[in-house]
Structure 1
Amino acid sequence: MNHRILFGSYPIPRFAGIASHNFVVWTDEKGRPLYEINGGAANADGSFNYCAIRGPLTAVVTDYAKRDLVYYPEFYVRPTSRTTVLLESGYASIAARWRAAVDVAERIRLSSLRYSFLIQNSNSVATAIAEGMGLTPPSAAIGRVKAPGSHRHLVLDPA
């Protein structure tokens, strides 16, 4: 098996699992997560706000080799998370796409956009990350009820 880029969805228990938190993951040839990108709001200290209702919109790149759940969330490993393969290829090809994803994440962090549950949130970040890699988010993981904000195109400064 090759390395993969996956688009993930985690059903949010607070909303009866109807609404989801979307994210993007890079896995190795054995299916182990190497990196994950999550969107959301940042706390004042820069930590990830798991229960956000407001704050600066951020995109966090988790390195699974350096785990710290306060600052770098992990959703791929949760038993209720579901994923769809966006791309399967060799290491070099996946690494090049992931570099583009990290660049988009940095632009989001520097954008001064505000988090909004229905408009700009984890789902709009995941969509922007996938599109920044030249990939299309799966239709099963997006939608105004299932993933509020997933149709929102973030306005970012050009790279």
Structure 2
Amino acid sequence: MNYQILFGSYPIPRFAGIASHNFVVMCDETGRPIFEINGGASNSDGSFNYCAIRGPLTAVVTDYAHRDLRYFPEFYLRPTSITSLLLEGSYSSVAARWRAAVDLAERIRQSGLRYSFWLQNSNSVASAVTEAMKLTPPSAAVGRVKAPGSYRRLILDAA
């Protein structure tokens, strides 16, 4: 097996599993997650706000080797998460794409954008980092009801 980049969706129980939280994950050649990128809102102390309705929009890169769920969420391992393969290849080809996603995550974190459930949220971040890797979010995981914000283009300053 090669390294992989997966697009994930976690059906949010609070919304009867109709709306989802989207994320992106990189797995090693055995299928284990190495890194994950989640969008959402951050709390004033910088921790990830799992129940966000407002706050600064953030993009968090979780390193599975250094786990801290308060600051670095993990959705890939949840039993209800669904994933779609975006890319499979050698470490160098996958890592090059992943680097673009990490760079965009940092720009989002520094952007000053505000979280909005309907407009710019975890799904906007997942779509944006996927597109930064020159990949396409799977149609089954995006949509105005299924993944609010997934079609929203984040307005970031040119880098």
TM-score, normalised via structure 2 length? 0.99
Coordinate RMSD, CA, aligned: 0.4
CA deviation profile, 1:29-64 (whole Å, cap 9, x unmatched) = 111000000000000000000000000000000000
* Residue in 2 that maps onto 1:39: 39
Is it true that 1:76 corresponds to 2:63 in the alignment? no
Counterparts of residues 1-159 of structure 1 (less than 5 Å): 1-159=1-159
3-state SS, counterpart of residue 136 of structure 1: coil
Offset of 1:79 from its aligned partner?
0.1
Distance, in Å, in 1 between the alignment partners of 2:19 and 2:30 is: 30
Q: Which residues of structure 1 form unaligned runs of 5+?
A: none
3-state SS, counterpart of residue 106 of structure 2: helix
3-state SS, counterpart of residue 96 of structure 1: helix
CA deviation profile, 1:52-107 (whole Å, cap 9, x unmatched) = 00000000000000000000000000000000000000000111111100000000
TM-score, normalised via structure 1 length? 0.99
3-state SS, counterpart of residue 131 of structure 1: helix
Greater than 4 Å deviation, 4+ residue runs = none
Offset of 1:13 from its aligned partner?
0.1
Aligned residues: 159
Offset of 1:157 from its aligned partner?
1.4
Q: Which residues of structure 2 form unaligned runs of 5+?
A: none
Name the amino acid aligned to 1:16: A
Distance, in Å, in 1 between the alignment partners of 2:2 and 2:57 is: 32
Name the amino acid aligned to 1:100: A
3-state SS, counterpart of residue 112 of structure 1: coil
3-state SS, counterpart of residue 30 of structure 2: coil
3-state SS, counterpart of residue 117 of structure 2: coil
Distance, in Å, in 2 between the alignment partners of 1:129 and 1:54 is: 21
Distance, in Å, in 2 between the alignment partners of 1:138 and 1:157 is: 26
